[in-house]
Amino acid sequence: MLGIKVDTLYRYARNGKLRALKIGKLWRFAMADIEEFTLRHRYLASPVCSKPMLLPEILREKARKFAQRSAVICGASQRSYAEIDLMSDRFAHALQEKGIEPGDRVVVVLANSVEFVIACFGIWKARAVVVAEDGAIRPNSLTHVLEDTQPTALVVDRNVAVQLEEFKIHFAI
């Protein structure tokens, strides 16, 4: 419920940050004290959902609820929930137009960025599988990844595309 390790919980109890009662070797916590602790420390546990949701559904719900709130901030670039939802919809549509089908693997070689988030959500919305690789992967290592995963598509930035061209790697994807 708290999303913390048991040792951390006991440390909070010993330090008086969380009300608890120690009986012998066992700690006892009242639910009211745990709820108060979560509110004070912003450990807001997600309520148990009546139905499981996929990540794109969670994004869509957040986009409706918090449209203009920043969802991703990366350096000087930031995007709201609504922007991420819209751009990932467009990317999903583009993937489907290119023939990506549910279950297809798509290798993503991008730096940690807004574009990476949009690409992942777009791939998930197309019901395809994200195979994320480090943006600093060497072309010869990428060759092995591509041989192992047999992806239907490859999403890269301009720098990686140039390296692949220089390395003379040609893919039938």
**Boundaries of every domain in the chain:** 6-41, 55-166
Judge whether residue 85 has pLDDT over 90.
Answer: yes
CATH number of 55-166: 3.40.50.980
**Measured torsion, CA atoms of residues 145, 147, 152, 156, in degrees rounded to the nearest 10:** 40
Whether the model pTM is above 0.85:
no
**Measured torsion, CA atoms of residues 27, 31, 37, 42, in degrees rounded to the nearest 10:** 130
Q: In Å, how far are 33, 88, 108, 129, 142 from 115, measured between CA atoms?
A: 42, 9, 10, 17, 20
pLDDT value at residue 165: 77
pLDDT band at 107 (very low <50, low <70, confident <90, very high): very high
pLDDT band at 142 (very low <50, low <70, confident <90, very high): confident
Average pLDDT, the chain: 86
Judge whether residue 163 has pLDDT over 80.
Answer: no
Residues 171 and 173: their CA atoms lie apart, in Å, by: 5
pLDDT band at 88 (very low <50, low <70, confident <90, very high): very high
Mean pLDDT of 27-31: 86
The tokens for 129 are 């599988």
